[in-house]
Structure 1
Amino acid sequence: MFSMLLVAGCGSWTASSLAQDSVDIGELEVTGQSLGNGQMVQEEAAKSRSTVTREALEKMSPTGNGIDKLKYTPGLNVSSDDSSGLSGFNFSMRGMQSDQVGVTMDGIPINDSGNYALYPNLLGDPDNLAEVFATQGSAEIDGPHIGSSGGNIGLVSMRPTKDFGVAFKQTLGSNNLQKTFVRLNTGEYMGLSNYISVSKTQSDKWKGKGELDAEKVELNSLYKFGEGNSLNAIIKYHKQENNRYATASLAQYRSNHQYEFAETPVYNANTGKLSTASYKTSVNPFENVTASLTGRFQLRDDLQLTVAPYYYWANGGSYSAYGSPATLYSTTNSSGNYDLSNLNTSAGYNADGDPVSGRYYRPSWTETWRPGINSKLTWALNDDHSLDIGYWYERARQRQTQPFISLKADGSPTDIWADSNAAVDANGVKIQGRNYFTVTPVHKLFIQDTWYATADLTLTGGLAYEYSERDGNMKASLYDTPEKRNATYHEFLPNFSAKYQLDTENSVFYNLTRNMRTPPNYVLYNAGDSISLDPELSWNNELGWRYASDSMALSATLFYLQFENRQISSRNQDGDYEMLNAGKVENKGLELEFSGLLPHDFNYYASYTYTEAEQQEDILYYGVYVPTKGKQVASVPKNLFNLSLGYDNGRWYGNVIGKFVDNQYGDLTNDQSIPHYTVVDMNVGYRLPVNKNYLQSATVRLSMNNVFNREYLAGVNTVVVNSARYNGTGSTYAGAQTPYYTIGEEQTVAVTFEANF
């Protein structure tokens, strides 16, 4: 399969895949403590960067996804529906939303190719991660992203071990959580080593009815040959069938701190017809495969070529019915695209005795096919200069539909995967609520020179040219007449950085980077003149200082980002993404990270972030200039603080971590906010003494999230322009809209037993 991919030229790599060169981790056996339980390492990049190591990952909750593992990292505010790692999540980084940050998994870009959203199913199995890193302000010059206006996150899988071994983990926890994970390492034979892992996770939702169910399979093969040559092939498969969590308005949360979808469907007493849906229709089935092949070839002592094809396929959707399910009648306006004469009228359905006729499960369904290739040539020109030249190409295709699937008498879908039982018109044509097909070809060329000016001073300068196209085909649906639309975006993106090593313990750096975010694909299909929207552009400035010794590490970074045409992502009540344009925005602030060792096997870790994300313009909305100038961007807390006290004597380990998150606004006018909150997590583990002849290691772990069972709103899910009414001249006004929020999870406990044979 991978040889076919390579020949076809479908692939990519980026800084995250290059990070694997320094990550050759098998089964970790800790013999003593390290700085901050592995939460902070000595970074060498001339830019802000934080890395969560395998040691830190092992000492966190046994579930969660790769982004959840960054929740104590400076600059990031992560909120998740629950701790299973299978449900929805959001994060902001230096005032940027998650769909403005490029994320890669082993070099594969995993932001949605259309709207840049991130989904937990695409983040791999956290048990196979070697590290997770974040560059908080700068998109990597070689990063395969068109939607990153600042910042990059990389998830790096561990490599196969050189020795044969089996890893087994079993986790049991609150809400009937069960996770079983098994990984088989074949060991190395003639330069080839492999592992295959399988896992199954099941859980009840922590609020309301519903279940989460996911299965993962991963294959990782590494072949080393010659001097400095290698091929690394990785395939990841995920399938889930999950019930969704409901988000809540501030009023809904105040009336019920566990606000959720209805537990039972409601039927009209007079007609017997289904009038209000339940959790049964609010589901999120998804299936995806990612495959990559990273080849590194040492052509000469001073010349290395990296070529990495990849392929990404995803298929799934979701539906959230807060009230009545979708309806479809012969009188429904079809925009002239369908002959609905075969359907009954509303009155006819109400009189037919069938409780669900005329009512439907209507998921927003997306299927994506995404091949690409990235290549880079690294040439050590001389002792002072190293030159990187590269090219990335990708051609993503995405089909977005909205079929009407019939319901069972109990109000549940007849097919949650939307493959069958779809409503058709009199001509047998499947009826769609939306019907888009988007092709997005992308080209990116870059060159970068690293100059070791002196033994202590390193200067780096680079230039990338990015070209992307949105080729949209709006096919016939209930609301759209067929039309083809096209938009093209291109920009030169320079960068410069300097690092100076003051002495063995102190260094300073400065970084300046130009970033671009191509508008999401739905600007092709939105009403009005959305297609004319310019790309979001930003200048990222960073000035930092790092101190590192054997017993302590400290970093401090000042950042300043200037945005043009700032795009704010939101969602409507159906969960579909919408975009708000906030114009010019300035983000500025401070990040601090501090870690060290204490006597008697104790250690500490702390991070603090101050962020001002200030809008520079009032926004014209429904003919009214609403007062957004000088206001904080929605969902961005000004203050974040994390403090951890840990212990590790090689046999026992433990940590207690407190997290403070400041107020977060739900609207761009700052009329409504959720209060600040503090939660405390705790992790304890015991490494059992084992006989190495039969068992390499065994550990029992206990994790508790939200130790004090705090009730709180964790983050903003739906951002609006204004939550209060603003009157314009005459009869014009911008009506009040409702922000919706993620409810923080109650206290959860998980116990894990793991063994390595």
Structure 2
Amino acid sequence: MKNLLSAKTKSFLSFKQSRLNWVILYSSLWVSGAMAQNTVPPQPATDDTSSQQHAVTDNSANHPAKNDGAIVVTGRSYADGVTRRAFGGGLMIKEDSPKSKSTLTRDYIEKQTPGLNPMQLIALLPGVNSSDSDPMGLTGGHTSVRGMNESSMGYILEGFPLNDVGSHAVYPQEIVDSENLSTIQVAQGSADLDSPTVSAAGGVVNMHMIDPAKKMGGRANFTYGSYNTFRGFARFDTGEIGNSGTRAYFSFSDTHEDLWRGPGTEKKLHGEMKVVKEWGKDNKASLLVIGNNLDNINMPSVNMASWQKYGKGIMGGPVSGIANTVYSSVYTGNTKANTTYYKLHPNPFTNIYVSAPVHLNLGHKMTLTETPYFLYSNGNGGGAYWQDMNKMSYGSQTMSGTVDGQNYGQTLLYEPSITKTYRSGSTTKWTWTSGINRLMIGYWFEYSSQRQTAPYSLLNDDGSPRDKWGGGSNVILANGEKAEYRDNLTRTFIHTPFIGDTISLLNDKLTIDGGVKISIINRQGRNYLPDTSTGKNINQTYREVLPSGSIRYKINDEHQVFFSVATNYRIPMNTSLFDSGSYVAGTGYSNQAVKDLKPETSISEEFGWRYHGKLINTSLTYFHYDFHNRLFSQTVIDPNNPTSYYSRSINGGNQTTNGVDFEIGTRAIYNIRPYVSAEYIDARNRSNLAASAAGVSAILPTKGKFAPQTPRYQVGFGLDYDNGHIFGNFSLKYVGSQYSTFMNDEQVPSYVRMNIGGGYRFKSWGGLKSPTIRFNLSNITNKHYLNYASGLQTNAQYAKALDGQMVKGSAPTYSIASPFSAMFSISSGF
């Protein structure tokens, strides 16, 4: 107990010191700005600002040419990037793409809680069903678009693919600080030809960061709020260095947040650097480096029985009977019941992203774009195992194990699931424009190495792991091998050549696009566990030809229509290639490889209409998908160890989806800018699926059932007010019910979530540019609800199979939405 109190005291003092350092930093920036009052000339007022003076800055985004599908933000803005001119308060732009896209800008991003992750920010866009588990989004979250979750979408930052190369999962809390985001664009229907992704059976989420300012300066922000949340952010812009055309910024943020349910604290350290060099006519090179370190505690998913019994959870020691919905906050000793102790479920992770996009004007109307990138990541999701060290398994063999030569008999062991990834690649694209024709030829190559292990190690006296990273002294078996729950290596080689052509006719009223890419992916795996069903070496190659085409016709300056058709695909998770888990005589490993799992393919079609007026911007899109071998991500609990879980791909058969997306936004009307989005979708399974439980295997009548993880109705509403000084915003999102089984016998109920925010932007004072105070209140009704089905099942209740057999159900698992929170912030440019 003494050691535990000492650790808590040190942690508390460290946290207090972190806050003090940020207060000192922010105060020094404020004072230095005040001292510079007489050295900074006043900024001239423009027609985009109120009659009072406000600082302006150049926050144009780092994007290639318009024809590459990027967004170029022009005009003057406040120091925080707000223009007060964007449609719908920053939730829409004037879009000319021949397929559906929705884009939000700094006008919206800046007014949300500082530090929110990208999935939280896009929640109001049409078709987007976004869920989080904590107010600041430090535990990640989930997003589906038109019923396709994040692992079926491509997530890209400045040309860098963000989906995990093995599982296709997206970890939004690791990506980027919101203060450095310029735009987030959601292409709901399909990926572009040059998108570096192998998971986009649906669309793509593209993110772009702001460019460094041309004048020296920066920005600082300080946030404090519910659940002892503290966040500090600072960015320094060098301005143009001499006359070199080179400029850069460096930023850093530090975030702490107590878990709102269960014990523990989430901690995040995040740094970003962007360097830009421009020369000649339309030549630009950039270097982007992002470093991220997370020190989190996992929160368990829940099933319907545990949610109905315990709700958001019961604090204290281990709970018997139905599993608690939080991990235990009290360690009662080295017993099996304490596998649920929260310190045995950490989630530490370190990531480094590097990207270096280059855009060259070759002359003769030719350009060359090269985007090399590199990723290093290392981390784990911790777990615990009650084990007799005299009866450990090495495949089919049973033998003893020791740590540093000592056998501890029956004991608790720490068992993290570790993933270490090295990933490098590059996308090369050559473009030639001649008259009405624009030709694009390119090639994407990537190589990655992903090592996944799960060793066992001992605990400290207070119940915490001796090394939460899984290092140190591990359990060694009698044959000299390290005991592992999983132990595999995946090497992935991606080759994707592509070619596309665009023709503009009738004075650019009619645009016709067509192209094709060929994706060749080779996965070479090695499973170091013995006695596997697949053998040691696994080699799987996927080949797919993916044509696409689109047409856009401008009826006049305000009305346009578009049609697009595209083929998309997604390869299975790498975990499907390997056996892992505990070994059971006669049946093998608890987690069996899924042999010959086919890629998911889809054909998407869209037909839409847009209206771009001086005051109103609107879009209406009908969409249709045909999916084959639909892959769903499933979280599975190991029946031999309920605290151990893993994700895998399951084949959901074929599916047909039809739906309509709508959005509308206005420019300022008496400083008010409303926005509305809506979606109706009908997604039906076209296959009967196999199910197996309690020794019964049969085919269930799932054909014609509604697809899981897909709300039939969604409505979003945003309202923004900004007169240059006073600003406020309100958002509401209605999400319809979502099935969690293919038999439609259990579901996530529908819900409504509302947020509100506001603040005051002061006149620039001395060296301080647009100093601002603001508040953000999320989930203002404090409604507690389930928001996502993380672990799908074929059926939750007994179901009658096609041959008359009764198949026992399995419990789906869910995540719980974040509660009410209040955050207060002060910020300023300098």
Measured against the shorter chain, the TM-score band is: over 0.9
Residue of 314, 327, 341 corresponding to 1:262? 327
Measured in 2, the distance between the counterparts of 1:396 and 1:165 equals 38
**Residue aligning to 2:368:** 305
Query: Which is worse superposed, 539-548 or 32-41?
Result: 32-41
Question: Does 1:216 find its partner at 2:270?
Answer: yes
SS at match of 1:162: coil
Kindly report the root-mean-square deviation, in angstroms, between the aligned alpha carbons of the 2 structures: 2.5
- Is contact 1:367-1:400 (8 Å) kept? yes
Question: Does 1:580 find its partner at 2:650?
Answer: yes
**Residue aligning to 1:131:** 183
Question: Does 1:84 find its partner at 2:136?
Answer: yes
Residue of 599, 607, 616 corresponding to 1:543? 607
Residue of 342, 346, 357 corresponding to 1:294? 357
Measured in 1, the distance between the counterparts of 2:64 and 2:72 equals 14
**Residue aligning to 2:345:** 282
- Is contact 1:330-1:343 (8 Å) kept? no
Cα separation, partners in 2 of 1:336 and 1:584, compared to 1, 3 Å: closer
Question: Does 1:619 find its partner at 2:667?
Answer: no
Q: Which amino acid aligns with 2:807?
A: A
**Residue aligning to 2:547:** 494
**Residue aligning to 1:176:** 228
**Residue aligning to 1:332:** 392
Q: TM-score with structure 2 length normalisation?
A: 0.84
- Is contact 1:130-1:158 (8 Å) kept? yes
- Is contact 2:191-2:202 (8 Å) kept? yes
Measured in 2, the distance between the counterparts of 1:557 and 1:184 equals 42
Question: Does 1:226 find its partner at 2:291?
Answer: no
Question: Does 1:717 find its partner at 2:770?
Answer: no
Cα separation, partners in 2 of 1:273 and 1:649, compared to 1, 3 Å: closer
Q: Which amino acid aligns with 2:390?
A: S
- Is contact 1:40-1:50 (8 Å) kept? yes
Q: TM-score with structure 1 length normalisation?
A: 0.92
Query: Shift of the alpha carbon at 1:576?
Result: 1.4
**Residue aligning to 2:562:** 509
Residue of 614, 617, 632 corresponding to 1:568? 632
Q: Which amino acid aligns with 1:236?
A: I
**Residue aligning to 2:818:** 745
SS at match of 1:523: helix
Query: Which is worse superposed, 583-592 or 244-253?
Result: 244-253
Q: Which residues of 2 match residues 52-201 of structure 1 at below 5 A?
A: 52-189=104-241, 190-201=244-255
Query: Which is worse superposed, 15-24 or 291-300?
Result: 15-24
Cα separation, partners in 2 of 1:729 and 1:333, compared to 1, 3 Å: farther
**Residue aligning to 1:701:** 774
Question: Is there any run of 5+ residues in structure 1 with no aligned partner, and where?
Answer: 1-12, 351-356
Residue of 534, 538, 560 corresponding to 1:485? 538
CA offsets per residue over residues 540-569 of structure 1, 9 Å max, x none?
Answer: 100000001121111000000100011111
Measured in 1, the distance between the counterparts of 2:84 and 2:154 equals 35
- Is contact 1:298-1:304 (8 Å) kept? yes
Measured in 2, the distance between the counterparts of 1:101 and 1:493 equals 16
Residue of 379, 382, 388 corresponding to 1:316? 379
Query: Shift of the alpha carbon at 1:511?
Result: 0.4
Query: Shift of the alpha carbon at 1:644?
Result: 1.7
**Residue aligning to 2:57:** none
Cα separation, partners in 2 of 1:206 and 1:164, compared to 1, 3 Å: same
Query: Shift of the alpha carbon at 1:530?
Result: 2.6
Residue of 655, 660, 675 corresponding to 1:590? 660
CA offsets per residue over residues 224-245 of structure 1, 9 Å max, x none?
Answer: 1222111100000000110111
Percent identity of the aligned residues?
A: 30
- Is contact 1:16-1:105 (8 Å) kept? no
Q: Which amino acid aligns with 2:563?
A: Y
Cα separation, partners in 2 of 1:575 and 1:551, compared to 1, 3 Å: farther
- Is contact 1:266-1:276 (8 Å) kept? no
Cα separation, partners in 2 of 1:537 and 1:284, compared to 1, 3 Å: same
CA offsets per residue over residues 354-385 of structure 1, 9 Å max, x none?
Answer: xxx621111111011100011000101x2110
Cα separation, partners in 2 of 1:383 and 1:210, compared to 1, 3 Å: same
Cα separation, partners in 2 of 1:537 and 1:276, compared to 1, 3 Å: closer
Cα separation, partners in 2 of 1:31 and 1:470, compared to 1, 3 Å: closer
CA offsets per residue over residues 453-512 of structure 1, 9 Å max, x none?
Answer: 222100000011110011110112697785101111111100010000011110000000
**Residue aligning to 1:374:** 427
**Residue aligning to 1:636:** 710
Measured in 2, the distance between the counterparts of 1:344 and 1:193 equals 53
Cα separation, partners in 2 of 1:341 and 1:419, compared to 1, 3 Å: closer
Q: Which residues of 2 match residues 423-572 of structure 1 at below 5 A?
A: 423-426=475-478, 428-455=480-507, 456-476=509-529, 483-526=536-579, 530-572=594-636
**Residue aligning to 2:450:** 398
CA offsets per residue over residues 709-756 of structure 1, 9 Å max, x none?
Answer: 112111111111110123558996532111111111211010111011
Query: Shift of the alpha carbon at 1:173?
Result: 0.9
Measured in 1, the distance between the counterparts of 2:67 and 2:295 equals 30
- Is contact 1:68-1:85 (8 Å) kept? yes
Measured in 1, the distance between the counterparts of 2:93 and 2:164 equals 30
Q: Which amino acid aligns with 1:240?
A: L
SS at match of 2:114: coil
Query: Which is worse superposed, 221-230 or 177-186?
Result: 221-230
Cα separation, partners in 2 of 1:448 and 1:257, compared to 1, 3 Å: same
Cα separation, partners in 2 of 1:291 and 1:31, compared to 1, 3 Å: closer
Measured in 1, the distance between the counterparts of 2:416 and 2:335 equals 24
Query: Shift of the alpha carbon at 1:313?
Result: 1.0
Question: Does 1:409 find its partner at 2:482?
Answer: no
Measured in 2, the distance between the counterparts of 1:397 and 1:338 equals 31
- Is contact 2:520-2:542 (8 Å) kept? yes
Measured in 2, the distance between the counterparts of 1:599 and 1:341 equals 72
Cα separation, partners in 2 of 1:358 and 1:480, compared to 1, 3 Å: farther
SS at match of 1:572: strand
SS at match of 1:68: helix
SS at match of 2:239: strand
SS at match of 2:326: coil
- Is contact 1:442-1:467 (8 Å) kept? yes
Query: Shift of the alpha carbon at 1:420?
Result: 1.4
Q: Which amino acid aligns with 2:729?
A: N
Residue of 601, 606, 614 corresponding to 2:676? 606
Cα separation, partners in 2 of 1:38 and 1:343, compared to 1, 3 Å: closer
Cα separation, partners in 2 of 1:306 and 1:481, compared to 1, 3 Å: closer
Question: Is there any run of 5+ residues in structure 2 with no aligned partner, and where?
Answer: 1-62, 314-324, 580-590, 638-643
Cα separation, partners in 2 of 1:272 and 1:185, compared to 1, 3 Å: closer
- Is contact 2:119-2:142 (8 Å) kept? no
Cα separation, partners in 2 of 1:326 and 1:440, compared to 1, 3 Å: farther
Measured in 1, the distance between the counterparts of 2:127 and 2:73 equals 24
Query: Shift of the alpha carbon at 1:110?
Result: 0.8
Measured in 1, the distance between the counterparts of 2:812 and 2:542 equals 32
CA offsets per residue over residues 91-138 of structure 1, 9 Å max, x none?
Answer: 111111211101111111110101101112432222211111110011
CA offsets per residue over residues 547-596 of structure 1, 9 Å max, x none?
Answer: 01121111000000100011111112334112221111011100000111
Measured in 2, the distance between the counterparts of 1:15 and 1:248 equals 47
Cα separation, partners in 2 of 1:275 and 1:344, compared to 1, 3 Å: farther
Query: Which is worse superposed, 617-626 or 494-503?
Result: 617-626
Cα separation, partners in 2 of 1:359 and 1:272, compared to 1, 3 Å: closer
Measured in 2, the distance between the counterparts of 1:343 and 1:585 equals 51
Query: Shift of the alpha carbon at 1:18?
Result: 5.4
Query: Which is worse superposed, 574-583 or 637-646?
Result: 574-583
Query: Shift of the alpha carbon at 1:23?
Result: 4.9
Cα separation, partners in 2 of 1:359 and 1:389, compared to 1, 3 Å: same
- Is contact 2:403-2:476 (8 Å) kept? no
